[in-house]
Structure 1
Amino acid sequence: MKTEHFASFDGTNLALHRVGSGTPFILLHGLFSSAQMNWIKWGHAEAIAAAGYEVLMLDFRVHGDSEAPHDPEKYPENVLVRDVAALVDHLALVDHLALVDHLALGDYVLGGFSLGARTSLHAVAQGILSPQRLVVGGMGTAGLGEWSKRSAHFLRVIDEFESIPRGDPAYFSMQFLKSQGVDRVAARLLLQTLPDMDLADLQRVAMPTLVVCGDEDRDNGSAQELADLLPDATYAEVPGTHMSSVTKPELGRAIAEWLAQTA
């Protein structure tokens, strides 16, 4: 495992974790998590790398080993999409010619879990990135078209952080933010940059796509419905809820198997 840092489009310092070699796979984590928590700790990155991929895992701003600025100007709309585009530019500048060619030709995989999946779909639907294949984990239609409702839950967690009682539906989210050491000032700024998506824009996501979700995960609405709206999607279920599915080996295995089938 190798970790490096680079400056995003606005100078914010972001962390990138790498493992493996082969076709590039840009893999993005979930909200208030990190590459370490979603992809490295449970072995998913190694499973994907073993299938012949260089797994390139970004820590979003405000997450993991990346910077969490407090300046509101560092949070334009869809800032995370711009960070992923900056990562692609960084890779093209610093890496060997083979990787540059992969990126230039769209011969790479893009994907993520939850917020990472949402960011990937926004980037493709807006025509900012054009990967050869796409992986969408832990995401359904509500997490795209009704994000403002989901965001309101986390804004409440931040605003009432010290007073949420045990048993409150927001208590578990508060505990997770605390365990991850999330900077709440920066997190609040970030949450306000994430717009709802017009689900009609999913028709622009034309590449082969894996939609993979826990069989008990309804946090972001229906993943099956999302798969049905995409032009070329395969739907797969793995065991678990939104939080537990990323801790089980079946998630990494499902991604690696689909990659092998669609190579």
Structure 2
Amino acid sequence: MPSFHNGAVEISYLDEGEGEPIVLVHGFASSKNVNWVYPTWVSELKKHNRRVIALDNRGHGDSTKLYDSEQYGIGIMAADVRALLKHLNIARTDMMGYSMGGRITAYIAYSHPELLRCAILGGIGIGLIKGGGPGENVASALEAASLEDVNDPMGRTFRAFADQTRSDRRALAACLRGSRRLMTNEEAASIKVPVLIAVGTTDDVAGSAHELEKVIPGSQVLDIPNRDHMRAVGDRVYKEGVLDFLSRQS
């Protein structure tokens, strides 16, 4: 798998297919493979004549692991994505992020709108502004000696997921503590690129998609029926809704 360096940090990525580019930014404790390859996002987008680029965020997958939470600010991870675009000589792209990747995508839409044709925020609703979701309870669960030592329900979910994906749990705990920057109402309201907000109807992590829709001008909501935060990722309704949204951009 190809990689490049943004400073001292090596970022692993994939770059497949031909056509208009779309960059995929995975969620916390996931990876480009777990979030996008295995649920067939990459193959589906390639079938629709898209060039698909997906990276492993720092601390995840095959990218460099760091153990200082200060190295995981949303702005810092957004800079990794921007460095990837520069590395690939991509001036403007569509971008889809899931959960933490949605936070990163929203930050780029706010701070560097010239880079984006449109933004898809998957698995993140009003939590982008109001918070919620994984916090210190999950960081502590990641640092626990074993899953059996974790009693917090959300902590158990993310710890089991991290164990399943054989992730570096210490790097993930640092990432979680460093990446909790919330977007302000004013920042979200200043986003001008077309935005699709896609959240499972039983997602108790993302916060309300419809509440966020009221903040981001002109944004649209895609409800993913009967899917929670983990199971929405590969859902057919999610894929079809995203493909329809992309087809309407120019």
The equivalent of 1:237 in structure 2 is 223
The answer on 1:51 being equivalent to 2:36 is: no
Give the drift of 1:168.
3.9
Alignment of 1:144-163 (within 5 A): 144-146=129-131, 150-162=134-146
Whole-angstrom CA distance in 2 between matches of 1:75 and 1:30 = 13
Whole-angstrom CA distance in 1 between matches of 2:69 and 2:126 = 29
Cα 1:128–1:153 change in 2 (3 A) is farther
Cα 1:185–1:52 change in 2 (3 A) is same
Whole-angstrom CA distance in 2 between matches of 1:25 and 1:144 = 25
2:54 is aligned with what amino acid?
M
Q: TM-score, normalised by structure 2?
A: 0.89
Q: TM-score, normalised by structure 1?
A: 0.85
Cα 1:82–1:226 change in 2 (3 A) is same
Tell me which moved more, 57-66 or 137-146: 137-146
Give the drift of 1:143.
3.9
The equivalent of 1:95 in structure 2 is none
Cα 1:163–1:38 change in 2 (3 A) is closer
The equivalent of 1:197 in structure 2 is 183
Indicate conservation of the 8 Å contact 1:45/1:252, yes or no. Answer: no
Alignment of 1:82-121 (within 5 A): 82-92=79-89, 100=90, 103=91, 106=92, 108-121=93-106
Partner SS state of residue 66, structure 1: coil
1:14 is aligned with what amino acid?
I
Whole-angstrom CA distance in 2 between matches of 1:168 and 1:209 = 34
Give percent identity, aligned residues only.
23
Cα 1:211–1:71 change in 2 (3 A) is closer
Whole-angstrom CA distance in 1 between matches of 2:128 and 2:144 = 23
The answer for unaligned runs of 5 or more in structure 2 is none
1:57-80 deviation line (CA, Å, top 9, x unaligned): 011011112121346674466321
Cα 1:193–1:229 change in 2 (3 A) is same
Give the drift of 1:117.
0.7
Give the drift of 1:129.
5.7
Note the aligned Cα RMSD (angstroms).
Answer: 2.2
Number of equivalent positions? 247
Give the drift of 1:40.
1.0
